[in-house]
Amino acid sequence: MISEGEILVIDDFVSLEYQEKIKQELLGLNNDFPWFYTEDVTSAGDYDSQYRPAMSHQYVIMDDNDMSEIESVYHHLFTPLLSKACQYLKIPETEVIQGRSFLQFPLKNIDTSVVDTPHIDLDEGDEHIVVLYYVIDSDGDTIIYNERTESPSYTEKQRVSPKQGRVVIFEGGQYHTAAQPTKGTRCIVNYNLDYYYEDDYDD
């Protein structure tokens, strides 16, 4: 289980062989992984931020009826990661609400002191678990805040640097964001899992 406000950071969460498989699939020079242009990764809210284009890929999406649909054949690549996360939390394998990857690059003429838009991945009140996996070492820290509602200002709770094989698992009601990378490519995998309630699995 994971409690409200809890943040788990685990290095080498999966085997080196699996780490390399993910890296080669998403970033290898000899593959055809389909990245799609995202006009602005900061668009999730009205917080004062800058225009930040990036690349993305959706694995699982929510449709207009708030039902999850597998959108990409590459989703299967991450089922071992998600199974390991559930095992680590000592919960049954639970529903994937959405899953995606982001690929960010250093941008010119960007104030690096300004971070991406603080946000939560789903609507406020939709309880979920965030599983964030770093594909490669990079800068562009993940920043998790104390606030649980949209705010004119945010106070930093914890900052995590991207490192290959590192996973961050946290209760999704916490506003969070990322710093823009300045030294190289930042590549992450982000999945949102349905929040586990023990009563849901009682006989």
Return the pLDDT at 42. Answer: 62
Burial of 194 (0-12, 13-18, 19+ CB in 10 A): middle
pLDDT digits 0-9 by tens, 162-191? 999 999 999 999 999 999 899 899 999 999
d(Cα 28, Cα 99) in Å, to the nearest integer? 21
- DSSP structure string for 3-53: -TT-EEEETT-S-HHHHHHHHHHHH-TT-----EEES-TT-SSSSS-----
Question: Hey, where are the domains in the chain?
Answer: 7-198
Q: Is the pLDDT of residue 90 over 60?
A: yes
Cβ-based neighbours of 33, under 8 Å, separated by 6 or more: 25, 26, 27, 57, 74
* Architecture field, domain 7-198: Sandwich (2.60)
Q: What is the pTM of this model?
A: 0.91
- Under DSSP, the state recorded for 119 is B
